[in-house]
Chain A
Amino acid sequence: MTRPAPLGAPVIEARGLERVFQMGGTEVRALRGVDLTVGRGEMLAVMGASGSGKSTLMNILGCLDRPTAGSYALDGVSVEGLSKNQLADIRNQRLGFVFQGFNLLPRTSALENVELPLLYDRSERELDTKGLAAAALERVGLADRMDHDPAELSGGQQQRVAIARALVTKPSLVLADEPTGNLDTHTTMEIMALFQELNAEGVTLLIVTHEPEISRYTQRIVELRDGRIIHDGPVRERGHALTDLQARADLEPASAR
């Protein structure tokens, strides 16, 4: 099972990550030596062209996939050599996922969707799963939508439910692969405002995106090309999504959105 994180250890510590896919006879080298260190409370954007290896990196950092070479420690704990089930436990307790397609269970209320990761909790502790799920939904501003099915929610609301689901286990790291890829500009900004709030409360966030508009709201941008990091630096002039939203509202008061 997962050991407690050494104090002060970075959330992500990856060295020389490589990932090679065998496609019939040919090899696809999706990652060719990625070094990445992410400290607690950081909010960073992973950018790059399509096929540059963003999702591949995400899957490895999310313990859904293993690197072909290189080392990766999450919360100071090396995941090398861990079994499938041990990785599942790490995903369950230390990681939160937000997907582009939301991936909510259909015909299942928001509350039950958020409750889902808690059902796979294997620790001895007694969990008030419903209570925790309700609190997470409240946190993302959906206190009044708990009994709604995904089909009864807008795209933005669905993504909020997914974010609540990622937060409900109080993970060390939330990974979001193109979380706003399916949303319009306004909703995208609302979601980014939520991410910024969560980050301000201490949640470590890693967001994959190829929109510079979005990376503007993070603190740090990592850019991939052909499986290598070609840029890693802080965001200059960090945007504030909530302020931008209000400015937009002031600019076009009668806009039909």
Chain B
Amino acid sequence: MKIGNLIGVAGASIFKNKMRTLLTMLGIIIGVSAVIVMVAIGAGAQGQIERQIQNLGTNMLVVTPGSTATGGVSLGGQSGSGLTVEDAEVLSSQSFLLSGVSPVISTFSQAVGGTGNWRAPILGVDVDYQVIRDWDVVQGEFFDETDVRTIRREVVLGNTVAENLFPNGDAVGQQLRLRDVPMTIVGVLEAKGQTAEGSDQDDVILVPYTTVQNRLAGRQFVSQILASAYSSDDVPAAQAEIQAILRDTHGLAPNEADDFTVRDQGELADAAQETTQVMTLLLAAIASISLLVGGIGIMNIMLVSVTERTREIGLRLALGAYGSDVMKQFLVESVVMSLFGGLTGVGIGYASSAAIATFTGWSTAVSVPTVLLALGFAGAVGVFFGFYPAKRAASLDPIEALRYE
């Protein structure tokens, strides 16, 4: 059969049975658009995390208690292996490569003031914290070195806390009670949004670490020490320097492992990216299953259609079609429907991704490789699942097929 005739015959069959065609394509349409949307959401999340890591701070290094070799942070609470405020002070005084160092003492407290109560994490930090995190103050100012040294009862509020307790925007200068200790609000931080993990970075109260140590009762520990290198080129050297100083301060013998971990932004980014990549893969896998189900749907309807078109097949065979012509016709029909279904799916996936981005605020990113992959997969599904029905059609006996009611 001439190729032009083959395409004409298959095309006519597709266009003349719009309902059947639509039903056949439906599974593929849904499958492909699911793949596109899922991957777009995953890739969008990835991009967002990258951006968030970018604005985490400048050339930041994070020291956490516990060694990576023995399972990381979980060991941090054990006696003797924690980080102390002294560690931060030693780093600050001995290092050459660090532009700033700040301990971070974490605790929780009810904050009372303004319109009522707010339970927020309280971070006891040094002045450098603001520079390291590259975090601007929009109202008032950050506490200074004197405030830290003289253990002033001053706080800087994260944007979320400020908005909730002082909706009128007049937080600076007002009083706030943390565990019954009155504090003065000296500044409000600019909004930074969510972290990669989805927690609100602005739901925080910053207090001089000395004040947290001396004025606030309750469980306190240095959860991390933040530091920043002068430039991004200095980051690896600074990391080594921190390691050397802390090993010395902690009195570790050369054969002993670190009892702390120093991470730079890159590592954080890698870790976060790995997580989202796994998530993207997972989403794609789930979506691929729907594509597979779509393929089975094609086979289903094609098989039904072979039965329904038995007389047509018998007629074509009687009029001189080879079994291979009938087979090719059904295969072309199946592949064309899969590909058109795939294209429609790409369109719908694209539109849905845009809609999801608009309505949820998530960022989504439709990538060209995904689109091509989904289309290729749809075509393959068409061949694979069209093959069996096509073979069935080709092997029909014309006499019996013509007699079929």
Q: Which of A's residues lie within 8 Å of B, judged by CB?
A: 59, 62, 64-65, 84-85, 88-89, 91-93, 97, 99, 101, 103, 105-108, 112, 116-117, 119-122, 165
A63 nearest in chain B by CB position: B318
B5 nearest in chain A by CB position: A119
Interface check B325, CB cutoff 8 A: yes
Is there an interface contact between B320 and A92, defined as CB atoms closer than 8 Å?
A: yes
Is there an interface contact between A120 and B320, defined as CB atoms closer than 8 Å?
A: yes
The verdict on A103 contacting B320 (CB below 8 Å), with A112-B12, A119-B8 known, is no
CB of B161 to closest CB in A, whole Å: 69
Q: Which of B's residues lie within 8 Å of A, judged by CB?
A: 1-2, 5, 8-9, 12, 16-17, 311-312, 314-323, 325, 398-399, 402
Partner of A84, one of B8, B319, B323, B399: B323
Known pairs A88-B320, A92-B319, A101-B311 / 17 extra A-B pairs, C-beta < 8 Å: A64-B318, A65-B399, A85-B323, A88-B322, A91-B318, A97-B318, A97-B319, A107-B16, A108-B16, A116-B319, A117-B320, A119-B2, A119-B8, A120-B1, A120-B5, A120-B319, A120-B322
The verdict on A88 contacting B402 (CB below 8 Å), with A105-B312, A119-B8, A120-B1 known, is no
* CA distance in complex: A85, B317 (Å): 10
* CA distance in complex: A93, B314 (Å): 17
A106 / chain B contacts, CB cutoff of 8 Å: 16
The verdict on A105 contacting B319 (CB below 8 Å), with A64-B398, A119-B8, A120-B1 known, is no
A59 / chain B contacts, CB cutoff of 8 Å: 399
A116 / chain B contacts, CB cutoff of 8 Å: 315-316, 319
B2 / chain A contacts, CB cutoff of 8 Å: 119
Partner of B321, one of A64, A108, A120, A165: A120
Is there an interface contact between A93 and B320, defined as CB atoms closer than 8 Å?
A: yes
Partner of B316, one of A62, A93, A99, A120: A120
* CA distance in complex: A121, B2 (Å): 8
CB of B305 to closest CB in A, whole Å: 13
CB of A206 to closest CB in B, whole Å: 15
16 A-B pairs whose Cβ atoms sit less than 8 Å apart in the complex = A59-B399, A64-B399, A65-B399, A85-B322, A88-B322, A91-B319, A92-B320, A101-B311, A105-B312, A105-B315, A108-B12, A116-B315, A120-B319, A120-B321, A120-B322, A165-B319
B12 / chain A contacts, CB cutoff of 8 Å: 108, 112
CB of A166 to closest CB in B, whole Å: 9
Tally of A-B Cβ pairs under 8 angstroms? 58
B325 / chain A contacts, CB cutoff of 8 Å: 120
A120 / chain B contacts, CB cutoff of 8 Å: 1, 5, 316, 319-322, 325
A93 / chain B contacts, CB cutoff of 8 Å: 320
* CA distance in complex: A123, B398 (Å): 22
A116 nearest in chain B by CB position: B319
Identify the interface centre among B2, B5, B318, B325: most chain A CB within 10 Å of its CB. Answer: B318
* CA distance in complex: A136, B399 (Å): 26
Q: Lowest 4 CB-CB distances: which A-B pairs, in order?
A: A92-B320, A120-B320, A107-B16, A119-B5
B399 / chain A contacts, CB cutoff of 8 Å: 59, 64-65
CB of B283 to closest CB in A, whole Å: 41
Is there an interface contact between B402 and A119, defined as CB atoms closer than 8 Å?
A: no
B324 nearest in chain A by CB position: A85
A103 / chain B contacts, CB cutoff of 8 Å: 311, 314-315, 402
Is there an interface contact between A88 and B321, defined as CB atoms closer than 8 Å?
A: yes
CB of A159 to closest CB in B, whole Å: 14
* CA distance in complex: A88, B2 (Å): 15
* CA distance in complex: A88, B325 (Å): 11
* CA distance in complex: A65, B1 (Å): 22
B17 / chain A contacts, CB cutoff of 8 Å: 107
CB of B208 to closest CB in A, whole Å: 82
* CA distance in complex: A92, B316 (Å): 10
CB of A114 to closest CB in B, whole Å: 11
CB of B314 to closest CB in A, whole Å: 8
* CA distance in complex: A77, B9 (Å): 31
B320 / chain A contacts, CB cutoff of 8 Å: 88-89, 91-93, 117, 120-121
CB of B319 to closest CB in A, whole Å: 4
A117 / chain B contacts, CB cutoff of 8 Å: 319-320
Partner of A122, one of B1, B314, B318: B1
A84 / chain B contacts, CB cutoff of 8 Å: 322-323
* CA distance in complex: A93, B320 (Å): 8
A58 nearest in chain B by CB position: B399
B311 / chain A contacts, CB cutoff of 8 Å: 101, 103
* CA distance in complex: A64, B396 (Å): 12
A122 / chain B contacts, CB cutoff of 8 Å: 1
* CA distance in complex: A88, B8 (Å): 20
A165 / chain B contacts, CB cutoff of 8 Å: 319
A107 / chain B contacts, CB cutoff of 8 Å: 16-17
B322 / chain A contacts, CB cutoff of 8 Å: 84-85, 88, 120
* CA distance in complex: A88, B320 (Å): 4
* CA distance in complex: A97, B316 (Å): 11
* CA distance in complex: A85, B324 (Å): 9
